Amino acid sequence: MGTDLSVVNAARVSYDKKSEELTDGDRRLIAFLAREGHSSPFRHAFLQFEIYAPLMIARQWHKHVIGSDHSFNAHNESSRRYVTEEPTFHVPYADEWRSKPENSKQGSGVPIDESEGTYLTEELFDYILRGEQLYGEAMARGVAPEQARLFLPAYAMYIRWYWSASLQAVCHLLNQRLASDSQYEFQQYAKAVLELARPHFPESIDALVGKDG
């Protein structure tokens, strides 16, 4: 909802001025607002995304919602209390397993040996398959879906949700999750958010995130 003009007009309303088309002066104003940390005008434009991602990403994403007391955020997730859609899981390929970093408590290091990765991928497949079997058995025995889901391996499982947020909140997420030390999988989602958002707010995103973001 909105465009770069929404930001400009929100900033200029105190002077009872309004732009009908984006001018070079408006572009300079957006750059000034971003540079000087005048963030409130960026909260008058909104974006909504439907996201499908593993739970390990969804829980990190949700931190941006509950931790944003400065900007509008909303998060509504599909629930296996009510729906029984086919479970889908994230399983890294053998060459995608990463080592623990040497100098940090979080993040990833270099890729591990592919033979080790092959073993881990096979073990994870077996683990997920067993969980799916137990889940199906519980459902067949008449167990409520909200309890049967306990058998599903959680962090690898894909879930679906809607995320609605102000332009400022979206750019805040992008600045954090496009960073090189962010979890690789989350970086890929952040790149997708940037690709979808930039055409709608090119000047604001260039100002808040950077042209090379």
Give a three-class secondary structure readout of 50-84.
EEEEEHHHHHHHHHHHHCCCCCCEEEEECCCCCCC
Catalytic residue, chosen from 43, 80, 149, 177, is 177
- The CA distance from 198 to 46, in Å, is 13
Nearest Cα to Cα of residue 191 among 178, 205, 210, 176: 178
Q: Which residues on adjacent β-strands are paired with residue 50?
A: 162
Amino acid code (one letter) for 145: P
- The CA distance from 212 to 56, in Å, is 27
Amino acid code (one letter) for 154: A
- The CA distance from 78 to 75, in Å, is 10
| 177 a catalytic residue | yes
**Catalytic residue annotation:** 177
